Amino acid sequence: AKRQGRNYLNFYQQCIEQTHRFSVHLRSKFQQAIDNEQLQLFYQPIVALSSGKIIGAEALMRWQLEDGSFIPPDIFIPMAETTGQIIPASQWALEQACHDLSQLLERRPGFCLAVNLSALQFNRANFFEQVITTLQSHHIPSECIELELTESILMDDSAHAIKLIERFRQAGLSVAIDDFGTGFSSLSYLKKLPVSKLKIDRAFIQEVVNKASDEAIVRGILAMARQLNIKVVAEGIEMAEQAIRLNELGCDLGQGYYFAKPKPLNDLLNDLD
């Protein structure tokens, strides 16, 4: 039994060492991807639920290895947040989004691109100036960019966050709360936050047609948003019935595989023809 215990311990140590080696490997691979501009942006359309018309898109980062496989963002984004690599990766993403947006705007004036922010960026000095400079250098009207932030950003230092959101809004940008309903949220801070949009998390949309409790939550969010003059996007719509019901409930916008999966810029441009 003692020997077996030692074997388990060895096995456990080996696992830790391997995991550690793998994560060091992943980090340096990701650094290479940043340095060699091997990251990509995919775009998922956001549609008006009443008409089905594409009004904008969300930019989602993709990391493809030499063998063609993709590492999921749910793996590399949290890693990049611990290492700080999210800062250069996000700056690259904003530049790329602005570059692509100028093509989208030629096709569809008023088109709006949403980009995801991480808490790390939000808390850096000069972040505001950096965003504005990037937009200006690509001649992008500030109304055409939306910043998506999660509730975790507000928890770190809400006074700082509120001030920064106000500055972005005054400069003309939209600000959306992502994954709404999943954090510690919600209702009290919304009053203080000058946000333009809420994105209801997929968790509440999945069963909106079958589960009375989820429908009630969605109704509640929509009623509150209407009072506060905030637009709402339903995320993760996978079926026609969900899109129909959400439109009936008065939700303005939708996003999800039912409409389109995230896709390369050229495919999105084709959709706009």
C-beta closer to Ca ion: residue 118 or 247 = 118
Tell which positions 230-259 bind Ca ion, by CB under 5 A.
235
Pick out residues in 52-71 that bind Ca ion (CB under 5 A). Answer: none
Pairwise CA distance, residues 146 & 56, whole Å: 10
The only residue of 49, 60, 131, 218 in contact with ligand C2E, by rule CB under 6 A? 60
Report the residue from 33, 47, 93, 161 that binds ligand C2E according to the rule CB under 6 A.
93
Q: Are 93 and 59 in contact (CB under 8 A)?
A: yes
Ramachandran class of 79: left when φ > 0, alpha when ψ lies in -120 to 50, beta otherwise: alpha
**Long-range pairs, 242-250, Cβ under 8 A, ≥24:** 242/205, 242/208, 242/209, 243/49, 245/208, 245/209, 245/215, 246/49, 246/205, 246/208, 246/218, 247/49, 247/50, 249/215, 249/218, 249/219, 249/222, 250/222, 250/226
Instruction: Give 144 or 233: the residue with its C-beta nearer to ligand C2E.
Output: 233
Asked if 146 is part of the footprint of ligand C2E (rule: CB under 6 A), the reply reads: no
- Residue in 147, 149, 164, 178 binding Ca ion, rule: CB under 5 A: 178
Residues 6+ apart with CB under 8 A from 261: 44
Single out the residue of 127, 164, 262, 268 in contact with ligand C2E (rule: CB under 6 A).
262
> Which residue do the tokens 């039994």 mark?
1
Nearer to ligand C2E, 202 or 219 (CB): 202
* Positions 161 through 220 that interact with ligand C2E (CB under 6 A): 178-179, 202
Binding site for Ca ion (CB under 5 A): 116, 148, 178-179, 235
**In the complex, which residues of this chain contact ligand C2E (CB under 6 A)?**
44, 60-61, 72-74, 77, 90, 93, 116-118, 178-179, 202, 236-238, 256-257, 262
